[in-house]
Homo-oligomer: A and B are copies of this chain.
């Protein structure tokens, strides 16, 4: 898809176009593996490229469609958010954390390289994300948008975002969380970065009205929770080959999950409820919200 071509209308083609777009943008921003320190750059590329469903970048583009944001402004936030997602996965997989050997059907970064390289590669993805937001040429004429995006991403990734969520998740192993604690953990660990994906286009011109922002925030709240419950259900039901990681890994670690707490039936019920609430918030976007609606359905009903 090039910059000026009209967007294809079928959601499937739309996805292909955006996937190619974000892949190219990621490729452009990641230092080449021949650039020294090359092993570090190789590990960064390994952690980000080749695999990954790119759900967060797709949500950035889809929310941008709903708001009528120029697509060229969305590449930087799409890339920055995906880099942050990759950072968190690499550290979550470390021996001192979840100690996972497999991710996206391949060895985890510390398995493919070594532990020190994996720690540093992920460490370097974080500043790269902020470098993208502060240096992308398309965003340069809009410093207010850049600052808003930096703040959005920083808040989503810190101790009251994904990193804090991971800390609570680790602390929960082998002890009982109540439903409120579990939802709080989900909100930080997965919800905040999904919310950032949805809200990133709202940081760009044209800035939407407050009520539109609030509708998107409520939507992202439902979506984030639904996403995590779907993840938990897949961990129980999915096959290793399809989900790309060890099936049943959460149960084996005695981790707090929604289905473990309430049973599969109720988890499915809550999922349906959240989906319907999320879709309701999107009604106001009319035709422009079509891609975001179809993406939401795909994310909540995904098999891997």
Residues of A within 8 A of B (CB): 31, 35-37, 39-41, 44, 87, 91, 94, 96-97, 114-117, 119-121, 123-124, 126-128, 130-131, 133-135, 143-144, 146-148, 150-151, 153-161, 163-164, 166-168, 170-171
Contact = CB atoms under 8 A, between A and B. Distances in A.
Given A37-B168, A119-B97, A160-B31, A153 B124 contact: no
A27 to B, nearest CB: 15
Number of copies of this kind of chain in the complex:
2
B151 A131 contact: yes
A163 B40 contact: yes
B91 A171 contact: no
A212 B135 CA distance: 23
A156 B130 CA distance: 11
A163 B91 contact: no
Contacts of A147: 134, 143, 146-147, 150
A119 B94 contact: yes
Specify which of A35, A97, A160 lies most central, judged by the most chain B CB atoms within 10 Å of its CB. A160
Contacts of A146: 143, 146-147, 150
A87 B122 CA distance: 13
B128 A126 contact: no
A120 to B, nearest CB: 5
Specify which of A114, A160, A167 lies most central, judged by the most chain B CB atoms within 10 Å of its CB. A167
